[in-house]
Amino acid sequence: MRLKAKLLNIESGGTLIIVLNPKVMKELDLEPADRVRVMSEKKYAVAITDVSSAVDETEIGIFDEVKALLDVETGQPITIIPEEQPVTITSIKKKLDGIKLSEDELFELVTDIVDNRLTKAEIASFVTAVYIRGMELDETEHLTRAMAETGQMLKLGVKPVVDLHSIGGVPNNRTTMIVIPIIASAGLYIPKTASRAITDPAGTADTMEVLAPVSLGLDDIKEIVLQHHGCIVWGGSLNIAPADDLIIEIEHPLQLDPTAMLLASILAKKYAVGATDLLLEIPFGPGTKATKARANELEKKFVALGGRLGINVEVVKTDGSQPVGKGVGPILEARDVLQVLENSKDAPADLRARSLYFAGLLLEIGKKAKQGSGLKMATEILKSGKALTKFKEIIKAQGGDPELNSIDLHPGKYDETIYAEKSGTIQGIDDDSIKKIGRHLGAPYNKGAGIYLWNKVGDKVKEGEKLFTIYAESGRKLSEGLAFAETNNPFRIKT
């Protein structure tokens, strides 16, 4: 049936919904919450039906999510046909019953997720089933391959291709932006597809976006990497492992992080960019995604799954009990990164040391340095200015301003400083509180929002001494952040 689009200017919160007149519903033998295939000139989506006489018989009411997906305008002709319930519902029920899924079942399930043939409730059921029942290594491998192969694949035609990834959980762990230019300077290929923040004040893509565009096409990325040996781009703009973002949207509000899906989420993207060697950081401790015991368990599983995919995975387990660097939030983190690359005396020592350690290991893994000499080589590349030159090359190639320096980066103009209420030694800095303060201030959407840490764990402070300064781009956001910070001070001081 062909109908005219009527834009309702209503958000569903993510679910794809269209509204039909009662007579149209009857003619198509549809009930509310049935599926229909909605087709514009070049795109299609599977949506859930609702019914209202406010939409006449010649119209189809379009919610905002459907409008965005199909790029629909008012009055545009839209074709709809009833859609059968996907057979993959049976696969979801099988997994809920604890039955192992086959390679074909998992590929079809991932395909239905990518093609929007499953509702959020059905995807949530799948995530829940994996969380409760787990997955065997065979299943996880098939899920990983399906997630990669249902999206775009980057084929550089060169080897080795190295990569660096952290499972996350630690604020301002921006080692990637320092490691990439060091590794690229040494002649190794390192295409980095980074994520945006989900719960943190910034992801690597959010921070890199301060310096250069991160939404690039696959052909552009291939050209940049082959010419400059590295890039730092947003994976979400590339249709690389597209099911991953859709699954993460479900996992986040449910606060579920099934191990099999964590493994597949990370390694599907590495497999899709052709990585041959991966250095994987697993931070552990309060506020991170892993205890020390879980970090050990994850190491074994990542190494085993990587081997099946042809990826050599080397794992580094790190203390994630406090933020890395001084700044938290896109601009403040970008300033930290540039200060390290500029060899500035103001550069955060912990960020510099951690980045050089990772870069040294990758140089050894990529056979550019002999075992035990990678750190020395990485340090020489950084001190010589080669890493900074390479980083500016990459910034320019991605469409940014290579003349931008750390002194040019300024956080939001609204600020407030929190001071120590007593003298003593800083025993801890709560990562979770830091993240929440940053989000209240407007990060990562407001690039200038964030937190500057004047002290770190182990430092001695006197009463009235600065602990941290918060920044926002509006007075309202500053007030929100300040109110939360005053009742959830992340610094723990012991006298």
CATH of the domain at 442: 3.90.1170.30
pLDDT at 491 over 80: yes
pLDDT (tens digit, 9 = 90+) per residue, 243-270? 988 888 788 777 788 999 999 999 999 9
- Characterize the bridge pairing of strands 59-62 and 2-7: parallel
Distance of alpha carbon 343 from alpha carbon 339, whole angstroms = 6
Enclosing domain of residue 440: 414-494
How crowded is residue 377: how many other Cβ atoms within 10 Å of its Cβ? 19
Q: What is the mean pLDDT of the chain?
A: 94
When pLDDT is cut at 50, 70 and 90, the band that residue 441 belongs to is very high
Report the Cα 141 to chain-centroid distance in Å: 21
pLDDT attached to residue 36: 93
Check whether residue 124 and residue 259 sit in a common domain.
Answer: no
pLDDT at 315 over 80: yes
Check whether residue 92 and residue 23 sit in a common domain.
Answer: no
Q: Per-residue pLDDT averaged across 301-324, rounded?
A: 95
Helix, strand, coil shares of the chain, percent, nearest 5, are 45, 20, 35
**Could you tell me which of 52, 390, 63 has the C-alpha nearest to residue 225?**
390
**Could you tell me which of 314, 277, 269, 267 has the C-alpha nearest to residue 160?**
277
Q: Given 343, 372, 397, which residue is the final one in a domain?
A: 397
- Is residue 151 a part of any domain in this protein? no
What CATH number is associated with residue 385?
3.40.1030.10
pLDDT attached to residue 236: 79
pLDDT at 43 over 90: no
Q: Per-residue pLDDT averaged across 17-36, rounded?
A: 94
Q: DSSP assignment of 441-470, as one string?
A: HTTTTSTT-EEEES--TT-EE-TT-EEEEE
pLDDT at 14 over 80: no
pLDDT at 139 over 80: yes
pLDDT attached to residue 84: 86
Check whether residue 372 and residue 427 sit in a common domain.
Answer: no
291-300, long-range: CB within 8 Å, 24+ apart, which pairs? Answer: 292/317, 297/259, 298/167, 298/259, 298/262, 298/263
Check whether residue 7 and residue 130 sit in a common domain.
Answer: no
- Is residue 148 a part of any domain in this protein? no
How crowded is residue 153: how many other Cβ atoms within 10 Å of its Cβ? 13
**pTM of the entire predicted model:** 0.88
Q: What angle do the packed helices 88-96 and 103-114 form, to 10 degrees?
A: 120
- Angstrom distances, CA of residue 53 to CA of 2, 19, 25, 66, 141: 18, 9, 11, 20, 48
Check whether residue 204 and residue 254 sit in a common domain.
Answer: yes
Q: Given 22, 57, 82, which residue is the final one in a domain?
A: 82
Check whether residue 220 and residue 298 sit in a common domain.
Answer: yes
Check whether residue 107 and residue 68 sit in a common domain.
Answer: no
pLDDT attached to residue 229: 98
Q: In this structure, are residues 450 and 325 in contact, taking their beta carbons and an 8 Å threshold?
A: no
Q: Given 67, 82, 97, which residue is the final one in a domain?
A: 82
Check whether residue 176 and residue 284 sit in a common domain.
Answer: yes
Please identify which of the residues 138, 220, 257, 350 carries the catalytic annotation.
257
Distance of alpha carbon 277 from alpha carbon 229, whole angstroms = 15
pLDDT attached to residue 405: 97
219 is catalytic: no
What CATH number is associated with residue 33?
2.40.40.20
- Is residue 218 a part of any domain in this protein? yes
* No. of helices (H) and no. of strands (E), the chain: 18, 18
Check whether residue 339 and residue 373 sit in a common domain.
Answer: yes
**Could you tell me which of 143, 229, 194, 118 has the C-alpha nearest to residue 444?**
194
Distance of alpha carbon 340 from alpha carbon 175, whole angstroms = 10
What CATH number is associated with residue 126?
1.20.970.10
Ranges assigned E (strand) in 83-187: 162-166
Distance of alpha carbon 110 from alpha carbon 5, whole angstroms = 29
pLDDT attached to residue 205: 92
Radius of gyration of the chain (CA): 24
Check whether residue 48 and residue 92 sit in a common domain.
Answer: no
* Minimum mean pLDDT range among 5-14, 433-442, 485-494: 5-14
- Characterize the bridge pairing of strands 162-166 and 277-284: parallel
Count of alpha carbons within 13 angstroms of residue 13, beta-carbon side:
5
**Could you tell me which of 85, 226, 244, 91 has the C-alpha nearest to residue 161?**
226
Q: Which helix (H) or strand (E) holds 340?
A: helix 330-341
Q: What percent of the chain has pLDDT over 90?
A: 82
Distance of alpha carbon 140 from alpha carbon 397, whole angstroms = 36
- Is residue 142 a part of any domain in this protein? no
- Is residue 143 a part of any domain in this protein? no
321 contacts: CB under 8 Å, gap ≥ 6:
285, 286, 287, 288, 428, 429, 431, 457
pLDDT (tens digit, 9 = 90+) per residue, 216-242? 999 999 999 999 999 999 987 888 998
pLDDT attached to residue 262: 93
pLDDT attached to residue 191: 96
Check whether residue 125 and residue 194 sit in a common domain.
Answer: no
When pLDDT is cut at 50, 70 and 90, the band that residue 63 belongs to is very high
- Angstrom distances, CA of residue 159 to CA of 16, 156, 189, 274: 42, 8, 8, 9
Q: In this structure, are residues 167 and 289 in contact, taking their beta carbons and an 8 Å threshold?
A: yes
pLDDT (tens digit, 9 = 90+) per residue, 157-202? 999 999 999 987 787 789 999 999 999 999 999 999 988 877 788 8
Report how many domains make up the chain.
4
pLDDT attached to residue 483: 96
- Is residue 403 a part of any domain in this protein? no
- Is residue 153 a part of any domain in this protein? no
- Is residue 404 a part of any domain in this protein? no
Check whether residue 292 and residue 318 sit in a common domain.
Answer: yes
